[in-house]
Amino acid sequence: MKIISLRKNEKKYESLVRSFYQPLYRYAFWSCKNRQVAEDLVQETFARAWKNLAQLKEMSSAKPWLFTILNRENARRFARKQLPMVELSEEWHMENIAAEQDNADSFSLQRAIFDLEDEYREPIVLQVIGGFSTDEIASILQLNSNTVSTRLFRARAALKKVMSPEQQNRSHSDG
């Protein structure tokens, strides 16, 4: 009986990893702006998910459950002592992203999102990359839905301001 249960859990876990690795990684990267840290966060998220798999009663709840775990892992990262790291400039990261995507508009938008304060960047990234509703974002970030709505509104307003036609023309003529 225990072997059957273990196999069932393994299949459930494999399904979670296949379905949610990429969205979790994208969100982690947008949150921390570092590929290695994002990979570590996702690994820690799935390790914690495996340990607590019994808590997941419905597979339909998996996405917000995993994103909540990821957010908590990211918060724990700041609570733990970190070894000194050589940090590459944000310019380098952004140039690599732009080179990979080879899309100036996408690069400008990514830069604008990266430049948002964390309190505005987190909900907009959860909405755009994660596809979460305002209520789901509120649950993941442990905030009031009205607060999330306000932050999303302000994030969009800041992005519109930065991505105005004048700004876009300037960024095209700089390159």
In tens, the pLDDT along 51-104 reads 998 888 888 889 999 999 999 898 887 766 554 554 545 554 555 554 554 456
151-170 pLDDT tens trace: 999 999 988 888 766 544 54
- Whether the per-residue pLDDT at 25 is higher than 70: the answer is yes
Domains of the chain: 2-78 (1.10.1740.10), 102-174 (1.10.10.10)
pTM for this entry? 0.60
Give the pLDDT of residue 101: 47
Pair 48, 76: CB distance under 8 Å: no
Percent of the chain with pLDDT over 90: 35
**3 state SS for 103-148:** CHHHHHHHHHHHHCCHHHHHHHHHHHCCCCCHHHHHHHHCCCHHHH
Helix, strand or coil, per DSSP, at residue 83: coil
